[in-house]
Structures are given as C-alpha cells and as structure tokens.
Amino acid sequence: MTAATQDVPALAARAALNLPYTHVDDIFIDGAWTPARGTGRNPVIDPATGEVWGSVPDGTPEDLDAAVGSARRAFDDGEWPRLTPSERAAYLLRIAEEVEKRAEELSLTNTRENGSPVSESAGAAANAAGIFRYFASLAGYLEREDVRAFPKGGGESVVRREPIGVCALIAPWNFPINLVVIKLAPALLAGCTVVIKPASPTPLSLRVIIDAVAAAGVPAGVVNLVTGSGRLGDALVKHPAVDKVAFTGSTPVGRKIAAACGELLRPVTLELGGKSSAIVLPDADLDAMSEVLIRSSMRNTGQTCYISTRILAPASRYEEVVDMVTRTIAAGKQGDPLDPDTVFGPCATESQYKTVLEYVESGLAEGARATTGGRAAALGGGLEGGYFVEPTVFADVTADMRISREEIFGPVLCILKYDDAGGSVEEAVALANNTEFGLGGLVFGSDPEASLAVADRMDTGSVGINFFASNHAAPFGGRHDSGLGTEYGIEGLNAYLSYKSIHRRAKP
C-alpha cells in the first residue's frame, strides 16, 4: 500500500503500511545498531489517531556515554577528520543517493510520527539529498589555501580551517529530517563527528537517515544516534566530551541550552521560535498572494518556525485581505495526513493540540473575530482520536493580544490593520518589528523596488518578497529570541570549523 491509497478507514490504512520501524530496541553506536542498555521505553503516537504505533529506547547515561565516546574516538583517532574535504564530499554524495532510495519510507514514517501531510513529507528525501549535495559542493572552499599578508608587511599568516570536534545535534519534531540534515551535512563535510538526539515524539524517521549513512560507507563512530526524553538531550548538551551543540526548537529550551553552553564556553548554534509578519502593501496582488499563502503562512499545519502568521493589511484594503485569506484557508482540506489531497493535518502532539486550543480561546476572549475555524475539528473515519484543530483565521486582531505576540505553532493566522494613509508603510514596519522574535518575514507588493525597500527595514533574519523559501546557499538564522548563529550556506559550514592562524615571515 502507498500513501495514495485512501479508500479504507484511517486505522486500517495505517495497519497496512507495514513500515519497517515500529517497536525497536536499539540505538546506533560505533557504526552498528546496538541494544540499548536500559529497559525504559518512549512511545511513538500517531497524532492523526492518538494511537501508539511504535516505541524506542529511553536512553540511559550509559547509552549516552557510549555514543559520545564512539564519536570522540572517531574524531581523535579515526580517519574521518584526516580525509580531504573532497573525500568527505564523496561520502555526502553517496548519502544523498541512499536517502533518495528511501523516499517513500521516509515520508510515511515522518507522517505517522508528527502528522505532516504526505504532500509535505513526500519532499523530505529530495530536500535532504539536496542539502547533502550542496554542502558537498563546498569542498573546494575548505581546500583553498588561505594566506594573508600582514597589513604592515614583513610577514604572512596561513589560515587553517579545522573541524571543531564532536558535535551534539538536537532535532525538533516539526521537520525531524531536514532540520537534522542541515546540521549533519556541514558537520560531516567539515570533518566533525556527531551524536544525534531526535525529539521524543519523532525518533523513528531519523533511523532511515542513519541507514542511508551506513549504506554510504561512512566510517564507524562518525555518526551516532541516541533516543530518549529531554533529560537525555540536556545531558548531551553538557557532556564533557562534546565540543559543539546545534539545536533547533523552542526559545525557552534554547535559553537553557545557551546558558549551559555559556557556562562551558561551548560553541552553540540555536534556531528557535518565530512570530513573523507578512506586510501586505497597498498595491499587492491578492490573487498571487492567495496562491502562496498556505506555504508561506501556514505550512505544515502552522507548525513551522519561520512562517508569517501575522498578516499586516492596509486599512484601505483590510476587508478585502480578510476575505481572501479566509477563503484560501477555508478551502484547504483538513483530514488524514496520509491522503495526498490533505492540506492541514493534526497538531503533532496532544500537548501542542491543547496549547493551540488555549490560544484560540484566548483570541476569542480578547475580542478577535474568527472568520473561519476557531475550535477543535471533529473528524471521523478512524480519526476521532486525532489532535485536529480547525484552521483558524482571526480578524480584528490588535498588537497587544496574546495571539499577536506569542508563537502559537499551530493552524492559526492573525490579521492586523495598519494605517496606510497617503501610501505610508511606517506603521506596518513598526508593527512587524514590534516583536521579541526575528526569524522570517514577507512583503507582498507589485513594485519590486518598493517591496525591497520595506524588506530592508524589517528586523529579521530572512524576508521573502511575494513568496518564501529556504535557499541552501544562503544563510538562515534568527535575531533576538529567534536564535544565535546561522545555518545553510558557507556561513552554516563555518559554524563547524575552528580557525588556526600560523604566522611566518613573508617569503622574499
């Protein structure tokens, strides 16, 4: 059975999937699947049904020590850091091929773990492979000789780019594959070794990536995987044999990780939360905006960090914008995420489901107007136990409301009004920048130069003009409460490097 077969109730459809990973007892250490040392288990729940369909070991301190020790030995004594960048790049290209061979398996496992519609998860393998191939293309950058003359003459410095060491890669549950790969690929090219700790709700799809790494022949100990609760992630961050931490997740957890790494003087990259805004300029083409709205503002059922969930509409066209957004969101099908026609799936966890409903109730209590949605979704066909919230659009939102200020991470959009008298966008820019976050953003407008000028004024790490997409070659990172450091691009590779300057007399 494939993801396209949806002529039976949801529970029966899932039973027929026959995925290779369900209840597993091992973790990946020193190049092999190894039985976990403890007896604790963490369940894996299908958020579309609320049913437990898998489980993984709840890792112990001994498991963690074994994984980090394996990575430490591979870095200190193994061949990986001593290969040329081009040799490591060849491994990355083989990993990309192996990932693509596992595309359907990866998609279906991902969807059952976190409820991402298959229309979203079906692209995970291709995107992951693209990331591996992009970073493989940077081998020449690492191999280029870098000699810099002293400004006053008389000497020169040879600048070496060396791998930073053992890296702890900690993943979120919303995009459990690509938000690990964007750390794994540059770390491997740089010559680092890694220990990966997936989010508790989504531990199984990463096993597919590990199988691809093993099939590509990556030496033992270079990549290790442990599973467990947040307690294990905390211990990994603080482990004395770890040299760098890379984390994607919530801002509160990110603060704790930053504090721990600061105490240890340990480099850290943090990609955290967002509350991004889409500024609709008075001349915006609303038909064109409608075509990219869901991808840009409610991707993955709103469980995406950079999407623009605050839409800032000019007063002169406010109701027109509200009508367009309402129609677009209401037309998106909500249902079984294994159905390729589904646009909106469930919230990924029961906890997130309750959080989103609390925000919806908060918006209604504070006077926002729900133009569509505004409650839990009641679905049948085996999905009665799923964590579904109706995709919701709130109009008449003011800047002081909780739904306007705080990251909801669910299928909720807020539409705020700004004064555009005389064509001014001053209030729109002020509203967009009046947030503790700074991750994404959008400008919708018909004049390219005017749109670019507004984008330049937005205090955020990335801005899209009339669409939003991640570019593997361009840095992606947050400002303020949205994180520290960058991923993607050469800048993302540099995060896994340590620099050494060797000073010598200039050659005559």
Rounded CA separation 232/289 (Å): 43
Please identify which of the residues 51, 98, 120, 271 carries the catalytic annotation.
271
**What are the distances in angstroms from CA 188 to CA 92, 181, 357, 470, 495?**
8, 10, 41, 21, 12
Q: Is 156 a catalytic residue?
A: no
DSSP 334: B
Q: Is 347 a catalytic residue?
A: no
Please identify which of the residues 192, 261, 305, 347 carries the catalytic annotation.
305
Rounded CA separation 454/439 (Å): 16
Residue 236 near residue 197, CB atoms below 8 Å? yes
The number of residues making up the chain comes to 508
Residue 47, token pair as written in the block: 């958020």
Residues with Cβ within 8 Å of 358's Cβ and at least 6 positions away in sequence, in order, are none
422 class by beta-carbon count within 10 Å (0-12 exposed, 13-18 middle, 19+ buried)? exposed
Residues with Cβ within 8 Å of 58's Cβ and at least 6 positions away in sequence, in order, are 38, 40, 41, 42, 227, 228, 229, 232
Rounded CA separation 221/201 (Å): 25
**What are the distances in angstroms from CA 231 to CA 59, 96, 175, 365, 486?**
9, 32, 21, 36, 26
Neighbour count for residue 47 (Cβ, 10 Å): 28
Give the residue numbers marked as catalytic.
271, 305
